[in-house]
Amino acid sequence: MNLFLEFQVKIFKVLKKLEKKKIIKIPPKVKSVSVQLPPSNQESDISCNAAMILSKYNNLPSLDFAEILKKHLLIEFKEFDKINIAEPGFLNIYFKDKFRTECLKKIIKLNSKYGSLKNVKKKYNVEFVSANPTGPLHVGHCRGAILGDSISNLLIFNGNNVVREYYVNDYGGQIKNYVLSVYYRILQITKKKNFPPDSNLYPGDYVIDIARKIIDKKTIKNFNNFDKIYNKLSNEALKFSMDLITKNLSLLGIKHDNFVYESKLNDKKMISKIVNNLIKKKYVYKGKIDAPKGEDKKNWKIRDQLLFKSTLFGDDIDRPLQKADGMWTYFAGDMAYHSNKISRKFNSLINVLGSDHAGYIKRISSATKAISNNKVDLICKVSQLVKLYKNGEPFKMSKRKGDYITVEDLINEVGKDSVRFMMLNRSNDAELDFDFKKVTEKSKDNPVFYVQYAYARINSVFRNLKINLKEKIKIENRKFDLNKHEIEILKKILEWPRCIEISSNKLEPHRIPFYLYELVTLFHSYWNMGKDNKEFRFIYDDGTYNNNRLALLQSLSIVIKNGMTILGVSTPSKM
């Protein structure tokens, strides 16, 4: 029920009809005739640019041509009450009250489906977080985790099939350093040996907790030889580390559907298979490359190595697949993982990456194109850094779990809802300032509180009337008596499908909190008017009420609920 899109299609059909009658002319390659929001200084419901697009081709001034269109549109559309023409030729269209009544009915009938797109349903793989399994999640992971989860919620809201996926990098040097850290903590506990002052090790207290759990589990009897017990110790340490990560994610309200382990892909020799496949396609060759950016050129040895022709697919340089010692590069492992995803027949792959991986997009996009023969889309969304502030100063919290601030610390400080809403309150492309004072205030300056409070206020009206908020409200067709302030709220409610359409097409869930804040600002302002003027109250002094106003409140609650569900934020009925 996207009125803007619906009327855009309907108006163009009327224009084609007028062309057939030789009333107007339409150029062969007409620019898009659009229906948009009217300017803020207009009270109309929708605005159309058709006169400005077509006037020149019809050899008429745009205002004169707008008059012609106005006349015919008012004849063709029974929904339109009037049309005002504004310079340089905008058609500002007002709906009839009867049409507004029908809109309210549709919103209430659609309920949790209101706003969802009618596109062809697709199968998506959304990979996010994928932090190295070497400790708890920190604030840097938090924003990307919430972004990935909300994108998933948005796609599911539109009826798509979505798999939330976590790629576990449980292979390589970092993992060995992590397991070695656990081993030294075990020796510290069991044999009083000092933990080595090695910068490659993980010093956080969480490593001590994991070491104790491994000791208590007693599956490993003897810790005298690290090499002999490495595999078993690695499995135990990684299991407890992933338990810690999934617990952190659960605190954020996030649950992944699937975990893919790099080590298992390696065991199946997936990297060799995909490299051989690309060699057959002539996308891999032996060659030499110069030192990468940031590498010390004096220490760089130019040598023959396996290179992927990523420049064929828009990358800056061809990418190496093997290290000097013959081991596969991280990129080669990632190619195998994306080949695995492609083999599972997803229509589209979405990767949510940290800010430090922005430079990685071209090469992995190139690999996906090569592996899938350009049949699978890969969309990468970069989540920028988060800076924490309190009272205008950088905020430091307990670092018991390592030299960073954890997700658990953050949630304990301000709660899940505030974390999720505020992490989505700005475009993922921009750095985010997270102000602890702001998100704990009970005021208009705290967006999450302001939206939740609107939902609680709506609930209070229904509670006082002893009516279930989900109960179907009978709308009085013959007596549509919403005032101009209530119509403004309805107009904003009718923008919701447009917000969803743009958010979905761009995969930008941050547009939803912006929209919700604007919506509830209209509602709270109107509510406050009722404190001074009985005319604007939802419940009259004698306990009676207006059904149409109640239907408006119910529609408002539906939009708030749908929006907050996509964001993964609760809607309490009382506050």
- Residues 218 and 149 occupy one common structural domain: no
Neighbour tally for 224: CB within 10 Å: 8
- CATH no. for residue 520? 1.10.730.10
Q: Which of 119, 128, 125 is nearest to 157 (CA)?
A: 119
What is the pLDDT confidence band of residue 399, given thresholds at 50, 70 and 90? Answer: very low
- CA 320 → CA 269, 276, 353, 361, distances in Å? 18, 14, 21, 15
Instruction: Please say whether the beta carbons of 452 and 426 come within 8 A.
Output: no
- Residues 363 and 496 occupy one common structural domain: no
The model's pLDDT over 508-556, given as tens digits with 9 standing for 90+, comes to 999 999 999 999 999 999 999 988 888 888 888 888 888 889 999 999 9
Residue 563 within a domain: yes
Of residues 326 and 106, more confidence is placed in: 106
Instruction: Provide the residue type at 544 as one letter.
Output: T
- CATH no. for residue 320? 3.40.50.620
Q: Which of 309-313, 349-353, 489-493, 528-532 has the lowest average pLDDT? A: 528-532
- Residues 373 and 500 occupy one common structural domain: no
Give the three-class secondary structure for 434: strand
Give the three-class secondary structure for 529: helix
Which of 251, 266, 290 terminates a domain? The answer is: 251
CA distance 257 to 3: 35
Alpha helices in 44-138 (DSSP H): 50-54, 62-76, 97-110
Q: Which of 183, 175, 165 is nearest to 134 (CA)?
A: 175
- Residues 209 and 312 occupy one common structural domain: no
Residue 265 within a domain: yes
Q: How many helices (H) and strands (E) does the chain have?
A: 20, 15
Alpha helices in 415-539 (DSSP H): 416-423, 436-440, 447-464, 484-493, 496-506, 511-532
Q: What is the pTM of this model?
A: 0.92
Q: Determine the pLDDT at residue 401.
A: 47
What is the pLDDT confidence band of residue 199, given thresholds at 50, 70 and 90? Answer: confident
pLDDT at 301 > cutoff 80: no
Give the three-class secondary structure for 371: helix
What is the pLDDT confidence band of residue 180, given thresholds at 50, 70 and 90? Answer: very high
CA 519 from chain center: how many Å? Answer: 20
- Rounded to a whole number of angstroms, the CA Rg of the chain reads 29
Q: Determine the pLDDT at residue 296.
A: 63
The model's pLDDT over 470-508, given as tens digits with 9 standing for 90+, comes to 888 888 767 778 899 999 999 999 999 999 999 999 999
- CATH no. for residue 29? 3.30.1360.70
Q: Determine the pLDDT at residue 292.
A: 66
Give the pair of three-digit tokens for residue 107.
């919103």
Q: What is the mean pLDDT of residues 377-381?
A: 94
pLDDT at 36 > cutoff 80: yes
CA distance 335 to 321: 10
- Residues 305 and 241 occupy one common structural domain: no
- CA 549 → CA 107, 113, 463, 522, distances in Å? 14, 21, 15, 15
What is the pLDDT confidence band of residue 423, given thresholds at 50, 70 and 90? Answer: very high
Give the three-class secondary structure for 381: strand
Q: Which bin fits 385, alpha (ψ -120 to 50), beta or left (φ > 0)? A: beta
- Helical (H) or strand (E) element with 155: helix 139-157
Q: Which domain holds residue 26?
A: 3-95
Q: Which of 328, 331, 327 is nearest to 318 (CA)?
A: 331
Give the pair of three-digit tokens for residue 125.
């793989």
Q: Which residue has the tokens 């119910």?
A: 554
Q: Determine the pLDDT at residue 32.
A: 81
Q: Which of 349, 284, 354, 348 is nearest to 319 (CA)?
A: 284
Q: What is the mean pLDDT of residues 178-188?
A: 96
Q: What is the mean pLDDT of residues 288-295?
A: 70
Q: Which of 6-15, 269-278, 305-314, 476-485 has the lowest average pLDDT? A: 476-485
Instruction: Provide the residue type at 457 as one letter.
Output: R
CA distance 435 to 438: 5
Q: What is the mean pLDDT of residues 254-271?
A: 91
CA distance 141 to 287: 37
- Residues 233 and 311 occupy one common structural domain: no
- Residues 470 and 508 occupy one common structural domain: yes
Instruction: Provide the residue type at 406 as one letter.
Output: T
Q: Determine the pLDDT at residue 300.
A: 66
CA distance 223 to 189: 11
What is the pLDDT confidence band of residue 268, given thresholds at 50, 70 and 90? Answer: confident
- Residues 266 and 234 occupy one common structural domain: no
Please give the DSSP secondary-structure letter assigned to residue 326: S
CA distance 43 to 386: 39
Phi/psi for 410 (5° steps) reads -65, -45
- Residues 275 and 237 occupy one common structural domain: no
Q: Determine the pLDDT at residue 112.
A: 95
Phi/psi for 89 (5° steps) reads 145, 15
Contacts 24+ apart (CB under 8 A), 478-483: 479/548, 480/97, 480/98, 480/100, 480/101, 480/548, 481/546, 481/548, 482/100, 482/548, 482/549, 482/552, 483/535, 483/536
Q: What is the mean pLDDT of residues 408-418?
A: 91
Phi/psi for 230 (5° steps) reads -55, -50
Which of 223, 251, 279 terminates a domain? The answer is: 251
- Residues 462 and 554 occupy one common structural domain: yes
Instruction: Please say whether the beta carbons of 510 and 428 come within 8 A.
Output: yes
- Residues 164 and 143 occupy one common structural domain: yes
pLDDT at 291 > cutoff 80: no
Residue 487 within a domain: yes
Residues 454-472: b if buried by 16+ CB within 10 A, e if exposed: bbbbbbebbeeeeeebeee
- Helical (H) or strand (E) element with 557: helix 547-567
CA distance 330 to 364: 11
Residue 500 within a domain: yes
Average per-residue pLDDT for the chain = 91
Structural domain count of the chain: 4
CA distance 265 to 334: 10
Q: Which of 521, 510, 518, 524 is nearest to 421 (CA)?
A: 510
Strands of 338-413 (E only): list them: 348-354, 377-383, 386-390, 393-394
Which of 332, 363, 383 terminates a domain? The answer is: 383
Q: Which residue has the tokens 């060699």?
A: 279
DSSP percent split of the chain into helix, strand, coil, nearest 5: 50, 15, 35
Residue 421 within a domain: no
Strand order in the sheet with 386-390: 393-394, 386-390, 432-435
Q: What is the mean pLDDT of residues 76-102?
A: 93
What is the pLDDT confidence band of residue 190, given thresholds at 50, 70 and 90? Answer: very high
Residue 537 within a domain: yes
What is the pLDDT confidence band of residue 402, given thresholds at 50, 70 and 90? Answer: low
- Residues 82 and 150 occupy one common structural domain: no
